[in-house]
Structure 1
Amino acid sequence: MTRWNYVFGAMTVVACLTSTHALADEAVRPKVAPVGSPKTAKTQVLEAGAKVLQGNAPLKGFDVYLVGFHPMKAQPEHQMEAHHYCHQMNEDFAQCVLFDSNTANANMNGVEYIISEKLFESLPEDEKKYWHPHNGEILSGQLQAPGLPRVAEKALMRTKINSYGKTWHVWNTGHKGMAADKLPLGDPMLAWSFNRDGEAMPGLVEKRDRRMGLSTPEARKDRADLVPLAKPQSGVDALKGGFKRPTRDLPGVTDKRSALSSPPVKP
């Protein structure tokens, strides 16, 4: 049994035991609904028939739920809360569908692919600029798996240390400081990760925590023993200096280029 399968098996058992409580705590309403006429009775009948007669095999396996935050790489102050529903395809590759909430009326607003450090290092250099590092999201406590007990969540996060994500958001459905578009408009936006304290807009993380009953400070404290596992990553400094606020380094979150250029520590 692979490490991921072991972790996921334990998560599945725990999720079954706690699912009712977790779902009650997780409800987050979308900020916008797409424009359009209400469904007709004919459409509803066709949907019901399709549900009975057609399969949805590609959607099975998107069982891992994560919630975090994404700044846009070209516009760092354009930031949003992102609800990920992920399918771990193998030990090194996962694919996620992104939504603006976790209810039945959630708007799909992006996709993310997650790869291991090993796969990232195999990429052409010109491709690596599209992939953001994950250690800052994990060690800061911002990335969380709502509904999972802390021990299961930590085991999940351990498997994602040193990983990378390629994320495209295709719909601005509203976030702090920017009104929502009622339809997907414009070009896809390449998203990035927060890698320093202070990069998130004031109140963004705290509001999520209050609404969902989460605690970023507690998660950070609990994950402190993951810091020694964190290696320097590419892209940590990609947005450095691009925010309107002072920022502070996170323990264990280091840019690979900075680490290579630093003088060796004398014994």
Structure 2
Amino acid sequence: MANPTIKDRRPPVTPAGQGKGAWLGTLEQGANLLQETTPLRGFDVYVVGFHCAKGRPEMQMEAHHYCRVVNDDLLQCVIFDGNTRDANLIGIEYIVSERVFDPLPEEEKDYWHPHNYEVLSGQLAAPGLPDAAEKAFLRLLLNSYGKTWHTWHTGRHDGEPGTDLPRGEPTLMWSFNRDGECDESLEQDRNTTMNLDTQTKHEQRRSFVDLAHPQRGVDTMADDFTDTTPIPGVVDVRHRGGATD
């Protein structure tokens, strides 16, 4: 299968300030725009999903992750509000395997959100990868955890305004863990613009359900939402009953 085309997703806000001629002029004099950028090399794994602020279910946004695979247990990601050259840097995420997460102190674990719903629901996508390659990559994220801080809420693509500069303290983000937690308009807007099909991806990943382990944090924000539905394979470690189709 040919490599699918990645659909452009422009940022929802234009930052404060004007022009960049002075910066470019200085760089051209000193290095002809060929400065060494070694730490940024390798941030070429691209996935897009959604985040909400921990304890603040109304604060939701699209998150475009560009990640570097450090090893089989750790990914480091920078997060943008789009995938074009003018996208704004809005946060960072560290992703660890279950093997690395389990021995962490209990108080540290409170900062890390589970990933099984994002994978199994089909919400998390790797645009540009053929279906088989995307499925294989997302399988590696099953049972993993993420520690995510957003430094800038630039708003939502479906219309909610953000700020034109980063303001206030960094915000600890969380994952969605049930159908109905992510605003339907937010998800639909992304899917329409980027030609993504969450339901099809959900069906393609059903074979992962038996591989999914109960995770810490699935129920952390359960009471912050109403009219939600659990999906098979997404279970909090505190009650292993699970959901059925």
- What TM-score range do you get, normalising by the shorter chain? over 0.9
Paired with 2:232 and 2:43, the residues of 1 have a C-alpha distance of 31
1:152 has 2:128 as partner: no
68, 83, 90: which one aligns with 1:109: 90
Please report how far the alpha carbon of residue 258 of structure 1 lies from its aligned counterpart in structure 2 after TM superposition: 1.2
- Structure 1 residue 210 corresponds to structure 2 residue 192: yes
| 2: CA distance, partners of 1:182 / 1:31 | 10
Partner of 1:78: 59
How do 1:165-184 and structure 2 match up within 5 A? 165-175=146-156, 176=158, 178-184=160-166
Question: 1:7 aligns to what?
Answer: none
Quick one: distance in 2 between partners of 1:177 and 1:132?
26
User: 1:5: which partner in 2?
Assistant: none
1:130 matches 2:111: yes
- Does the C-alpha gap of structure 1 residues 203 and 69 become closer, same or farther in structure 2, counting only changes over 3 Å? same
Pick from 16, 19, 23 the counterpart of residue 43 of structure 1.
Answer: 23
Identity of paired residues, percent? 51
Matched residue type, 1:62: F
Alignment correspondent of 2:5: 22
SS of the residue corresponding to residue 223 of structure 2 reads: coil
Structure 1 pair 52–202 and aligned structure 2 pair: CA distance change class (3 A): closer
Per the TM alignment, residue 46 of structure 1 is displaced from its structure 2 partner at its CA by 2.2
Match of 1:220 in 2: 202
Partner of 2:216: 234
Structure 1 consecutive aligned stretches of length 4 or more whose deviation exceeds 2 Å = 45-54
Partner Cα separation in structure 1 for residue 63 and residue 53 of structure 2: 12
Following TM superposition, by how much is the alpha carbon of 1:37 offset from its aligned partner in structure 2, in angstroms? 2.1
Q: Is the contact made by 1:87 and 1:95 (CA closer than 8 Å) also made in structure 2?
A: yes
AA aligned opposite 1:201: D
Q: Residues of 2 paired with 1:53 and 1:100: CA distance?
A: 26
SS of the residue 2:46 aligns to: strand
Amino acid in the other structure paired with 1:22: T
Deviations 1:18-50 (CA, angstroms, capped at 9, x unpaired): 3xx524xx211111111112122x422223344
Give the residue type in structure 2 aligned to 1:100: D
Deviation per residue, 1:97-150 (Å, 9 max, x gap): 000000000000000000000110121110000000000000000000001111
Asked if the contact 1:79–1:200 (Cα under 8 Å) also holds between the matched residues in 2, the reply is yes
How many positions carry a matched residue from both structures? Answer: 239
CA drift at 1:51: 5.5
Aligned equivalents of 1:177 and 1:234: distance in 2? 33
Structure-1 separation of matches of 2:31 and 2:77: 24
Task: Name the amino acid aligned to 1:45.
Answer: G
| Partner residue in 2 for 1:250 | 231
Structure 2: runs of 5 or more not aligned? none
Pick aligned residue for 1:193 from 162, 175, 184: 175
What is the CA RMSD across the aligned residues, in angstroms? 1.5
Alpha-carbon distance between aligned partners in 2 of 1:155 and 1:51, rounded to the nearest angstrom = 40
Conserved 8 A contact 1:74-1:190 = no
67-76 or 177-186, larger mean C-alpha shift: 177-186
